Protein backbone atom coordinates (compact mmCIF):
# COMPACT_ATOMS: atom_id res chain seq x y z
CA UNK A 1 0.00 0.00 0.00
CA UNK A 2 2.92 2.35 0.50
CA UNK A 3 3.17 2.74 -3.28
CA UNK A 4 -0.40 4.01 -3.68
CA UNK A 5 0.20 7.73 -3.98
CA UNK A 6 -2.53 10.36 -4.19
CA UNK A 7 -3.06 11.76 -7.67
CA UNK A 8 -0.30 14.33 -8.18
CA UNK A 9 -0.72 15.61 -11.75
CA UNK A 10 -2.87 18.53 -10.59
CA UNK A 11 -0.27 19.85 -8.13
CA UNK A 12 0.68 22.61 -10.57
CA UNK A 13 -2.92 23.82 -10.29
CA UNK A 14 -3.62 23.33 -6.59
CA UNK A 15 -1.86 22.25 -3.40
CA UNK A 16 -4.09 21.96 -0.33
CA UNK A 17 -1.26 22.57 2.15
CA UNK A 18 -0.63 25.96 0.49
CA UNK A 19 -4.30 27.00 0.38
CA UNK A 20 -5.22 29.15 3.40
CA UNK A 21 -8.87 28.12 3.04
CA UNK A 22 -8.09 24.39 3.07
CA UNK A 23 -8.41 22.23 6.21
CA UNK A 24 -4.89 21.00 5.36
CA UNK A 25 -3.24 24.41 5.17
CA UNK A 26 0.27 24.38 6.59
CA UNK A 27 0.71 20.62 6.66
CA UNK A 28 4.27 19.48 6.06
CA UNK A 29 4.97 16.15 4.40
CA UNK A 30 8.08 14.03 4.72
CA UNK A 31 8.59 12.10 1.50
CA UNK A 32 10.99 9.66 3.13
CA UNK A 33 9.34 8.75 6.44
CA UNK A 34 6.38 6.41 6.18
CA UNK A 35 4.64 6.78 9.52
CA UNK A 36 0.94 6.41 8.70
CA UNK A 37 -0.62 3.01 8.29
CA UNK A 38 -3.84 1.18 7.61
CA UNK A 39 -3.76 -1.81 9.90
CA UNK A 40 -0.25 -3.23 9.41
CA UNK A 41 0.31 -1.62 6.02
CA UNK A 42 2.33 1.56 5.71
CA UNK A 43 0.85 4.14 3.34
CA UNK A 44 2.41 6.90 1.26
CA UNK A 45 3.20 10.00 3.37
CA UNK A 46 1.22 12.32 1.05
CA UNK A 47 -2.12 10.98 2.32
CA UNK A 48 -3.85 13.13 4.92
CA UNK A 49 -5.19 11.80 8.21
CA UNK A 50 -8.39 13.28 9.63
CA UNK A 51 -9.08 11.14 12.70
CA UNK A 52 -9.79 7.70 11.27
CA UNK A 53 -7.22 4.93 11.73
CA UNK A 54 -8.32 3.17 8.51
CA UNK A 55 -9.39 5.92 6.08
CA UNK A 56 -7.27 8.71 4.60
CA UNK A 57 -7.93 11.45 2.08
CA UNK A 58 -6.25 13.96 -0.20
CA UNK A 59 -7.85 17.24 -1.23
CA UNK A 60 -6.82 17.28 -4.87
CA UNK A 61 -8.57 20.46 -5.91
CA UNK A 62 -10.88 23.14 -4.53
CA UNK A 63 -12.57 25.85 -6.57
CA UNK A 64 -14.22 28.31 -4.21
CA UNK A 65 -15.76 30.47 -6.92
CA UNK A 66 -17.51 27.43 -8.46
CA UNK A 67 -18.12 25.87 -5.01
CA UNK A 68 -16.65 22.41 -5.51
CA UNK A 69 -13.94 20.18 -4.10
CA UNK A 70 -12.40 16.97 -5.42
CA UNK A 71 -11.03 14.56 -2.82
CA UNK A 72 -9.37 11.18 -3.23
CA UNK A 73 -9.92 8.49 -0.58
CA UNK A 74 -7.81 5.52 0.54
CA UNK A 75 -8.49 2.66 2.90
CA UNK A 76 -11.37 1.04 4.69
CA UNK A 77 -14.42 3.23 5.31
CA UNK A 78 -15.68 2.04 8.67
CA UNK A 79 -18.63 3.88 10.17
CA UNK A 80 -19.53 0.91 12.35
CA UNK A 81 -16.39 0.80 14.53
CA UNK A 82 -14.54 4.05 13.75
CA UNK A 83 -17.41 6.43 12.85
CA UNK A 84 -15.37 7.56 9.84
CA UNK A 85 -18.16 9.67 8.35
CA UNK A 86 -18.35 11.74 11.55
CA UNK A 87 -14.62 12.49 11.47
CA UNK A 88 -14.67 13.14 7.72
CA UNK A 89 -17.67 15.44 7.96
CA UNK A 90 -16.47 17.39 10.99
CA UNK A 91 -12.77 17.68 10.08
CA UNK A 92 -12.91 18.01 6.27
CA UNK A 93 -16.39 18.66 4.92
CA UNK A 94 -17.55 21.31 7.39
CA UNK A 95 -14.44 23.53 7.06
CA UNK A 96 -14.82 23.34 3.28
CA UNK A 97 -18.52 24.18 3.55
CA UNK A 98 -17.63 27.23 5.65
CA UNK A 99 -15.54 28.36 2.67
CA UNK A 100 -18.45 28.00 0.25
CA UNK A 101 -17.97 24.47 -1.03
CA UNK A 102 -21.33 22.75 -1.67
CA UNK A 103 -20.43 20.22 -4.38
CA UNK A 104 -18.24 17.29 -3.38
CA UNK A 105 -16.60 14.75 -5.68
CA UNK A 106 -15.00 11.86 -3.80
CA UNK A 107 -12.77 9.56 -5.82
CA UNK A 108 -13.29 6.23 -4.08
CA UNK A 109 -11.57 3.61 -6.21
CA UNK A 110 -9.09 3.02 -3.36
CA UNK A 111 -11.85 2.49 -0.77
CA UNK A 112 -11.41 -1.21 -0.25
CA UNK A 113 -14.32 -1.91 2.13
CA UNK A 114 -17.27 -0.15 3.68
CA UNK A 115 -18.85 -0.97 7.04
CA UNK A 116 -21.96 1.08 7.70
CA UNK A 117 -23.68 2.09 10.88
CA UNK A 118 -26.47 4.56 10.21
CA UNK A 119 -27.03 7.28 7.67
CA UNK A 120 -27.48 10.30 9.96
CA UNK A 121 -24.24 12.08 9.00
CA UNK A 122 -24.84 11.43 5.29
CA UNK A 123 -28.35 12.83 5.62
CA UNK A 124 -27.08 15.88 7.49
CA UNK A 125 -24.40 16.47 4.84
CA UNK A 126 -26.94 16.07 2.05
CA UNK A 127 -29.39 18.52 3.63
CA UNK A 128 -26.65 21.11 4.11
CA UNK A 129 -25.45 20.99 0.51
CA UNK A 130 -28.96 20.72 -0.97
CA UNK A 131 -29.84 24.06 0.63
CA UNK A 132 -27.19 25.64 -1.59
CA UNK A 133 -28.04 23.65 -4.74
CA UNK A 134 -25.10 21.34 -4.04
CA UNK A 135 -24.56 17.61 -4.21
CA UNK A 136 -22.28 14.73 -3.21
CA UNK A 137 -20.94 12.14 -5.66
CA UNK A 138 -18.80 9.10 -4.86
CA UNK A 139 -16.92 8.10 -8.02
CA UNK A 140 -15.44 4.76 -9.03
CA UNK A 141 -16.52 2.70 -6.06
CA UNK A 142 -15.67 -0.98 -6.22
CA UNK A 143 -18.82 -3.04 -6.89
CA UNK A 144 -18.91 -4.66 -3.45
CA UNK A 145 -18.44 -1.26 -1.76
CA UNK A 146 -21.32 0.17 -3.83
CA UNK A 147 -23.49 -2.74 -2.73
CA UNK A 148 -22.52 -2.30 0.94
CA UNK A 149 -23.38 1.43 0.73
CA UNK A 150 -26.70 0.66 -0.96
CA UNK A 151 -27.57 -1.77 1.84
CA UNK A 152 -27.09 1.10 4.30
CA UNK A 153 -29.20 3.40 2.06
CA UNK A 154 -26.31 5.85 1.58
CA UNK A 155 -27.52 6.29 -2.01
CA UNK A 156 -30.50 8.25 -0.64
CA UNK A 157 -28.06 11.08 0.07
CA UNK A 158 -24.99 10.45 -2.08
CA UNK A 159 -24.96 9.68 -5.78
CA UNK A 160 -23.12 6.45 -6.52
CA UNK A 161 -23.45 3.55 -8.91
CA UNK A 162 -23.10 3.03 -12.65
CA UNK A 163 -23.43 6.71 -13.55
CA UNK A 164 -20.49 7.38 -11.24
CA UNK A 165 -17.85 5.32 -13.02
CA UNK A 166 -15.34 7.62 -14.73
CA UNK A 167 -12.26 5.55 -15.34
CA UNK A 168 -10.31 8.15 -17.29
CA UNK A 169 -10.46 11.02 -14.81
CA UNK A 170 -6.67 11.17 -14.32
CA UNK A 171 -6.00 12.26 -17.91
CA UNK A 172 -8.09 15.44 -17.71
CA UNK A 173 -8.16 18.58 -15.63
CA UNK A 174 -10.11 19.03 -12.41
CA UNK A 175 -12.45 21.38 -14.27
CA UNK A 176 -13.16 18.70 -16.89
CA UNK A 177 -13.85 16.12 -14.18
CA UNK A 178 -16.17 18.48 -12.34
CA UNK A 179 -18.13 19.35 -15.51
CA UNK A 180 -18.53 15.68 -16.40
CA UNK A 181 -19.63 14.74 -12.88
CA UNK A 182 -22.05 17.66 -12.76
CA UNK A 183 -23.51 16.72 -16.13
CA UNK A 184 -23.93 13.08 -15.04
CA UNK A 185 -25.49 14.20 -11.74
CA UNK A 186 -28.01 16.49 -13.44
CA UNK A 187 -28.87 13.82 -16.02
CA UNK A 188 -29.47 11.26 -13.27
CA UNK A 189 -31.64 13.74 -11.37
CA UNK A 190 -33.75 14.38 -14.48
CA UNK A 191 -34.19 10.63 -15.01
CA UNK A 192 -35.26 10.14 -11.40
CA UNK A 193 -37.32 13.26 -11.53
In the chain, domain spans: 16-113+130-192
Summarize pLDDT for 63-72 with one digit per residue, the tens: 999 999 999 9
Query: What CATH superfamily classification does 16-113+130-192 receive?
Result: STAS domain (3.30.750.24)
What pLDDT was estimated at residue 188? 79
Give tens-digit pLDDT for 100-134.
999 999 999 999 999 999 899 999 999 999 999 99
**pLDDT band at residue 185 under the 50/70/90 scheme:** confident
Cβ pair 62, 69 in contact under 8 A: yes
Q: Is the pLDDT of residue 164 over 90?
A: no
Query: With contact defined as beta carbons under 8 Å apart, do 77 and 113 qualify?
Result: yes
Amino acid sequence: MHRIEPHYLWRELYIASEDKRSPFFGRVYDEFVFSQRIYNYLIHPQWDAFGSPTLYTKLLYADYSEGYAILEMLGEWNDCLQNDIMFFKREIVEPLQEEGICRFVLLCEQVLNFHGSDDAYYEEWYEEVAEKDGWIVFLNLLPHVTEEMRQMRIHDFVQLGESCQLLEWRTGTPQMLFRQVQQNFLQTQRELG
